[in-house]
Amino acid sequence: MKTRLLVDQHIHGAFDVDFNTANVGEMMFASRELLKNGIGGYFPTLVTDSFANIRRQVAVIKEAAQKKRDDCADILGIHLEGIFINVEKKGIHNYEHFQPLTIEKYQRIEDDFIKIVTLAPELDEGLIDYLKDKNIKIQAGHCVGGNLDDCSGVTHLFNAMKGVSHRGYSTALSALINDNIYTEIIADGVHLSDDVLRLVFKAKPINKILLMSDALPITGSSKKAAIFADEKIYYDGIKATSADGTLAGSTTLLNKIVKRLAKIGLFAPQLINNVYEYHNFDIDGEIEWDDDYNIISIRKGEYKSAK
């Protein structure tokens, strides 16, 4: 079977490269390694950080993106996950850097390469309308509010958000019943159980489900511990957590997520296409898969590679 190249719109790093601290050379290295795993494009995702560090990394990522090569995954824009989120659902994020959802605060790190912003809509103080006017994808995440009217999507459904209840409303419930909302899922077998995945696939139109990895810098490395989001995280071979057991993100790349979904009977090629439709772009290339959803070959532009 052949499909389009994978695109990961939510990834914090891999191969010991942390997108919050990487230099241009490290970004290019990560881009080459990601393409070897069938990922033809990605949105480096910045976790909560200081204004100064975010501005620095935006500049680094933009410079790396300009060095576009066929043997590297394309850097398609930046996903800003953090600083505008709710401390009640902070997850691994450092709340000391959280900011009010105001235009003035966003302008301190504003850049036209920021394409996705994850935020808590219930805390909005005028920022959402500003982002909408800039055609930035607004995603509800690390939040408790249930009003998604001004959102394009939801960040890692069920994780770091108010869950489904039989009374009242919540972020997760609103995402499930709104057919217009794109919904990220981390289908790594850790962040969502298989039964919850089946629920999502029953509730959501398949063309509104976004596969992403939420991969951490230790993904694809030999490390068992590392600093991420100003905190030490530990990898036990299955999951990465802080010392208190808080999940810190995934350690599974997108091609392995495809293989896992296929194993439990939930994969369809439309799931790869969805991110292209969400962002309205294309990448010249394709993946050839065997019957067990292992990658046989990858083509991107003039670049070809057999696994």
Q: Where are the domains of the chain?
A: 2-306
**Is the pLDDT reported for residue 307 higher than 80?**
no
d(CA 282, CA 272): 12
Nearest residue to 88 (alpha-carbon basis) of 122, 46, 125: 122
State residue 179's pLDDT score: 97
pTM: 0.97
Token pair belonging to 34: 């990601």
State residue 229's pLDDT score: 96
Read off the pLDDT band of 167 (50, 70, 90).
confident
Read off the pLDDT band of 220 (50, 70, 90).
very high
**Is the pLDDT reported for residue 5 higher than 90?**
yes
Taking residues 202-214, what's their average pLDDT? 98
pLDDT digits (tens, 9 = 90+) for 257-294: 999 999 999 999 999 999 999 999 999 999 999 999 99
Average pLDDT, the chain: 97
Q: 195 near 49, Cβ under 8 Å?
A: no
pLDDT digits (tens, 9 = 90+) for 94-146: 999 999 999 999 999 999 999 999 999 999 999 999 999 999 999 999 999 99
pLDDT digits (tens, 9 = 90+) for 62-89: 999 999 899 999 999 999 999 999 999 9
State residue 132's pLDDT score: 97
d(CA 102, CA 113): 19
Taking residues 193-199, what's their average pLDDT? 97
Taking residues 31-57, what's their average pLDDT? 98
Identify the sign of the CA torsion 154, 156, 158, 161: negative
**Is the pLDDT reported for residue 224 higher than 90?**
yes
Fold of 2-306: TIM Barrel (3.20.20)
Per-residue burial over 59-80, b = 16 or more CB atoms within 10 Å of its CB, e = otherwise: ebbbebbeeeeeebbbbbbbbb
